[in-house]
Structure 1
């Protein structure tokens, strides 16, 4: 598929679908007490797979906020899914630890699973897109901060303590910092450790990110240098993203200054420990924006970055988790590809990659840790071009995983890449059949249908059957047409309208449109979800003709 399935499920960019749906339209006269009981039951089921030791609130989100107000406690919201690898990593490294569990008594902890009723509507309410997202709210419901994944438990606990003690919203901190206001050291720590990847351009609009992060990083106090460097990496990441539009926002002098700063920062163990995720995932964008292929500057930066990776996890620093060890190896692979684009990877590096995967996956016997480790390993093999190794790993993983359908999408991607379209479609079909939970089933069904459109476009009967079944996944929930579901529906609508260019295909599109009309009619009039539903498969309005200049 044009968009790799692998990266559709990357950290914080995961797209889930509708939460809460069934084959039958919901009754409109269910007693409120019954509805609350059903929501509590769903919440209990959703938290059943979480580590013990945390008293997750058993009820819907609104009831949880009411409980937080009544107890004058903050509320901690964890938005995730059972199949999500980074969610599994957080369960293994944060939620299972005493440091977090003790602090959880200070707030009302809420787990919002994407497959619970109204989850997608709540996701839209809070501006959530990617799994996992962790948000801390004041008792009155004001958002304080979004907590980062990928930090060690002690650092996570420290940031949580700061947020609980000061409770000054990050949105307010950004306004103060960019307008000359006064910020404390703890304010700057909250800014540095805010989960910007899960903010979705709410606090800082995309067009302003490069300039804003540059200003924040330069204003951050010198005594907080390791923490402030996180904002500096956000600045370079935003610049790299902006440069994809064709024009780099960095001048030659900016690049030279940043290269000098980067070399100094990469040599600092304390900076490295505060920026583990940036070192694991930022090499391609940061080195790419600061240097050109084949130049001495490129080689100097890749060597320094490689040395920083080598120091991660040594005795003087916090040990790396299993997935982090694999991702450090993946970063080395990317650095080698930056050094010598198009050149086959060194056999020694490939052997080291295989050994890292073997060591980590063998040691990862706990369910959450293994799920995250296998996902990281598959990403490493994919990046290194070791497709056969990835295939063997994933075939074994689906026999051991509690969410085997997750890895079947990777197997489909590998089969399609190798030109085995029938096998790819078979994996997508099997993944959809095995997916559990209404939101998850819609997401996996979307991938199956898109796979059919792209790989077997003339199989109209199968496309019609799958499309109708997929729409039925939505039909039982009044809260289906929100947030990620809506994003997927917009994409699917465009693909189906483009595909339906022949009379036979147009007939299928008409049937899908008719089924959608029936579903939309059961939604409340005036509801935003109904408007979203009615937009599905509606052809784009023709462009308005330019008015004549003459009168």
Structure 2
């Protein structure tokens, strides 16, 4: 054994002994009102589809993670619904948590990457649709019902729609409310999405205004940064009509809230005559949504964050000290304090309080953001997520030592193989950026991550593979200094030992992790 590997193997061994027993036990089903089949291996999926074929039922697959705020939003607002539980008699429910050993391979198999993704399959395994988890629960439920009532695979529906073939109203609504945000290039390549959505909007039936409206809004939202649609007066008029109609804005609240700056940039140039009236109308619509008690708290804080993003247009994206309207700053402070005081559900708290802390920072209330996160650490089932936010806050404010301490603690407290790789890579990135001369700590962290990857059958698939690729790129940039060559060589030796033992299908991905660094 090479001398440099003694340290590396000691780190990996210490981690394995301390982490393995508790990481998987923390995973819970998305809800207790229906029977969920927990899946992490191909045999689990085979069992689910065999049951589906025997009972002639579709399969509903939920792909998520314990820490993920949008996943917790679904648990707090959708999976716990009575009508969802009633509908469950018509499908086989499968839960794939990305942190179950090997689960990332299932993510690759089903082409799901972003948490959360909810997919409805036919009993034979054809994908029918991806449910819009970003929409309000009622809309999501409506799409699920359409899919359960004989919905055709969206790939077939899309092909017919683009060919100009007649479609029933339900098929058009499934197209409009398909989860384009989690499509993963299944139906349309991301670069082509704005044009395809606009084409669908033009072909949508005139009798269902909501369908065309949704498609136009999604097309515009996907056209940011100069790609996609070229805004014209007609498109701006369509969006203005939605903003002026409280009911229409409520029905498409998710698009307006989650894409506020993108919509403005796609519809108007900076400083143009068209920008100001659009800003005024969009801000007014979002203000109504942020105060709409019929929306979930998660949707309301999203609308408020949309207002903040509008107010920050023209500022550097990483601006820390900002001078925003006092009324908006006070509204954020009051809104977040109310949420913190009133929320009782743990899932809702994980989703909403983390968003509230982000909003406080974006309006310049960094001390209040930090205080909120620290006060909620003991109340969170995934405190490491909040710790990473605290690290981000400290980093933005130039508090390097605090940032590294929080990132390190977040990694140390994180649970689950995929999550630990993600959080560990975040810590490593911070070390490289903020403490590049601390070669020992960088090597120790990288060695530990490689050691953890060796223990997870899915480490070189799906999200985890992409995380490890980021690790390699980061080390490559840092390794440009000849003084670090020895570190990279020792890490490569360790990685070679891991790659020799992984499945043949994953060996290329494993070997490529440090290739940029080695070269």
TM over 0.5: yes
CA distance in 2, matches of 1:457, 1:311: 47
Query: In the alignment, what sits opposite 1:372?
Result: 351
Deviations 1:306-331 (A, max 9, x none): 2322443778xx71111222222222
CA distance in 2, matches of 1:49, 1:64: 16
1:519 aligns with 2:498: yes
1:330 aligns with 2:305: yes
- The 1:153/1:208 distance shift into structure 2, 3 A limit, reads closer
Query: In the alignment, what sits opposite 1:386?
Result: 365
CA distance in 1, matches of 2:255, 2:452: 38
Query: In the alignment, what sits opposite 2:484?
Result: 505
Q: Secondary structure at the match of 1:168?
A: coil
Q: Secondary structure at the match of 2:124?
A: coil
Query: In the alignment, what sits opposite 2:84?
Result: 100
Deviates more, 1:197-206 or 1:513-522: 197-206
**How many angstroms does 1:249 deviate by?**
4.8
Query: In the alignment, what sits opposite 1:54?
Result: 34
1:128-527 pair list within 5 angstroms? 128-241=112-225, 243=226, 249-251=228-230, 254-312=231-289, 319-338=294-313, 344-524=323-503, 527=504
**How many angstroms does 1:478 deviate by?**
3.3
- The 1:397/1:221 distance shift into structure 2, 3 A limit, reads same
Aligned length: 493
- The 1:188/1:292 distance shift into structure 2, 3 A limit, reads same
Deviations 1:237-267 (A, max 9, x none): 22214x1xxxx5544xx42221111111222
**How many angstroms does 1:150 deviate by?**
3.3
- The 1:498/1:204 distance shift into structure 2, 3 A limit, reads same
Q: Which runs of 4+ in 1 moved over 4 A?
A: 248-251, 339-343
**How many angstroms does 1:85 deviate by?**
0.7
Indicate conservation of the 8 Å contact 2:357/2:373, yes or no: yes
Query: In the alignment, what sits opposite 2:71?
Result: 87
- In structure 2, runs of 5+ residues without a counterpart are 1-14
Indicate conservation of the 8 Å contact 1:46/1:113, yes or no: no
Indicate conservation of the 8 Å contact 1:173/1:187, yes or no: yes
**How many angstroms does 1:210 deviate by?**
2.0
Q: Secondary structure at the match of 1:148?
A: coil
Indicate conservation of the 8 Å contact 2:291/2:300, yes or no: no
Indicate conservation of the 8 Å contact 2:289/2:300, yes or no: no
Normalising by the residue count of structure 2, what TM-score does the alignment of the two structures yield? 0.90
- In structure 1, runs of 5+ residues without a counterpart are 1-21, 25-40, 543-551
Q: Secondary structure at the match of 1:166?
A: coil
CA distance in 2, matches of 1:61, 1:441: 25
1:113 aligns with 2:93: no
CA distance in 1, matches of 2:38, 2:399: 46
* Superposition CA RMSD, Å: 2.3
Q: Secondary structure at the match of 2:274?
A: helix
Indicate conservation of the 8 Å contact 2:195/2:229, yes or no: no
Higher normalized contact order (CA 8 Å, seq sep 6+, divided by chain length): 1
Q: Secondary structure at the match of 1:203?
A: coil
Normalising by the residue count of structure 1, what TM-score does the alignment of the two structures yield? 0.85
**How many angstroms does 1:194 deviate by?**
0.6
Indicate conservation of the 8 Å contact 1:42/1:117, yes or no: no
